[in-house]
Structure 1
Amino acid sequence: MEDEAGPYQAIPHPGTSWQPQGEPTRLPHEYVRGGTAKLLTLFHPSSGQVRVRGVTCCTNAVLHPWMQQTLTEVLEQLPVATVLPPAHNRSVWERWQAGLSVRFTLLEHLPPLRLLLVLDNLTGHKTPELVCWLMRQGIMPLSTPVAGSWLNMAESIQRILVRRALAGHCPNSAQQVIEWLEASARGWNRAPTPFVWGGKRQARRQRARARRHPLAGSGAYTLQVLQ
């Protein structure tokens, strides 16, 4: 999963901390804006590993080379792909386009599918050059629905990293923001936590629904069975 977060300003950032009673943390009321930074993020939910790069701008000229370099490093660590008959191989690719209202044209000659890449539904992620490069590497790009970027779990890990790096601190420059964000990612990768879709929250909802008794024909329910 890939996403770009920010901008984050080099200004005092409020945050929680342990302080003696009656002596709260104080942030400067006067400061000079030291620029902004963004965080390019590639996240692997099942392992929890995250790859990031802090930047001061996020144009295609910056984003695409970073994606290509980082994804190449990821592919080098994967097992050798199994070569399938051409018709079977194309059906594997086409299966991930089933049900989509908008589909990009698959290349005539496709390599074995090796990786699924979830991206936000942004124009910069859909340039022909980038999409064709991804397909040639065996990577299937999948976009989240419009107004559904929250389905990209890269945003979840970004919120964690940003909170750890900036909350309660006062960076002086964009470069310092970048250094703290990247250091936060290195710390996370020392003991990464895998992400599971739904997780405990989904389990709680399922248990809550199991305790309810829906009433036919409406969205109402009761907490006891009605005869």
Structure 2
Amino acid sequence: MIEAADTVGQSLGLEVWCDDEAGPFQTIPQPGSSWQPEGDPARQPHEYLRDGTAKILTRFHPADGQVRIPGTTTCPNTVLHPWLERERTAILAALPPLLPTADPSRAAWERWLRGLQQPITLPAVLPPRRVLLVLDNLAGHKSVALVLWLFAHGIMPLYTPVSGSWLNMAESIQRVLKSRAMAGQHPTSPAEIIKWFEEVAAFWNANPTPFVWGGKRAARRKRQRDRSHRLSGSGATTRRPVRCPKGHARPK
């Protein structure tokens, strides 16, 4: 079902977005490789302070590779839900008009419930579908108020199953950004961690790499034929390798 969101959803005129939360990231020395003179390896301080943590709220659009990652030091539902609603409202406002082939029927919604062990109860009145949203199955993502808000705005939530986080392509972009922002660094405050992630995301968005669903075993040979580059964290692939640009320095 989630694989079909990427391969079939766009042909139906639907936008596919992925949500996830990364972290918490601590203010401690972070592992990572670096270039050092022979016999003089990089050393991390043996004393440091645990001065709070930071979390990154991730909104990812695989079709063009754009990512939005505001940071926060705490992420209860009172913080998460307003952010989700603000972001989704902005996305809906920027959507193109519905395609003439768009199906406004109730069956168009119900097709995304097939095969679920615990189907979602759809409300009696439904607007045309506009967005397919892939997110994990945290209890906060399934609150009645939030789910009804999604339906009322034409958004169909697709929850990843337990131990199925690899189905969410936001996992891959989070690993890419974490490596570029945190590897080998020693943050001293949550604000510094958030600043690094935002700077790296801005650099990524200047020349983003679209992600293409790669599946798992069934598509292994096809990926090889197409010379796709598999990403860690999910089943996503790219058409070109994701490399750290030459001369790009990580934030200090």
TM-score (norm. length: structure 1)? 0.84
SS at match of 1:96: helix
In 2, Cα distance between the equivalents of 1:207 and 1:116? 25
Corresponding position of 1:153: 169
In 2, Cα distance between the equivalents of 1:99 and 1:200? 19
How does 1:191-210 map onto structure 2 within 5 Å? 191-198=207-214, 204-205=220-221
Corresponding position of 1:122: 138
AA of the residue aligned to 1:144: T
Is 1:55 the equivalent of 2:55?
no
How does 1:36-47 map onto structure 2 within 5 Å? 36-47=53-64
CA contact (8 A) 2:104 2:127 kept: no
Shift of 1:81: 2.8
Q: CA-to-partner distance for each residue in 1:108-154, whole Å, 9 max, x for gaps?
A: 11111000001101111100100000011100001011111121111
AA of the residue aligned to 1:12: P
Is 1:98 the equivalent of 2:114?
yes
Is 1:13 the equivalent of 2:30?
yes
In 1, Cα distance between the equivalents of 2:222 and 2:127? 40
**Which of 166, 173, 176 matches 2:192?**
176
SS at match of 2:166: helix
Q: Which moved more, 1:101-110 or 1:119-128?
A: 101-110
Name the CA shift for 1:202/1:170 in 2 (closer, same or farther; >3 Å).
farther
Runs of 4+ in structure 1 deviating by more than 6 angstroms, as ranges, are: 199-202
Corresponding position of 2:19: 2
Gaps of 5+ in 1: 209-227
In 2, Cα distance between the equivalents of 1:45 and 1:182? 18
Corresponding position of 1:80: 97
Shift of 1:206: 5.2
CA contact (8 A) 1:82 1:112 kept: no
Q: CA-to-partner distance for each residue in 1:42-72, whole Å, 9 max, x for gaps?
A: 1111211111111111111111100100111
In 2, Cα distance between the equivalents of 1:19 and 1:179? 26
Shift of 1:200: 11
Shift of 1:181: 1.2
Corresponding position of 2:158: 142
In 2, Cα distance between the equivalents of 1:160 and 1:88? 37
AA of the residue aligned to 1:182: E
Corresponding position of 2:124: 108
CA contact (8 A) 2:104 2:129 kept: no
AA of the residue aligned to 1:31: Y
Count of residue pairs brought into register by the alignment: 207
Gaps of 5+ in 2: 1-17, 225-252
CA contact (8 A) 1:83 1:112 kept: no
Shift of 1:202: 7.0
Q: Which has the larger radius of gyration?
A: 1
CA contact (8 A) 1:8 1:38 kept: yes
Is 1:163 the equivalent of 2:173?
no
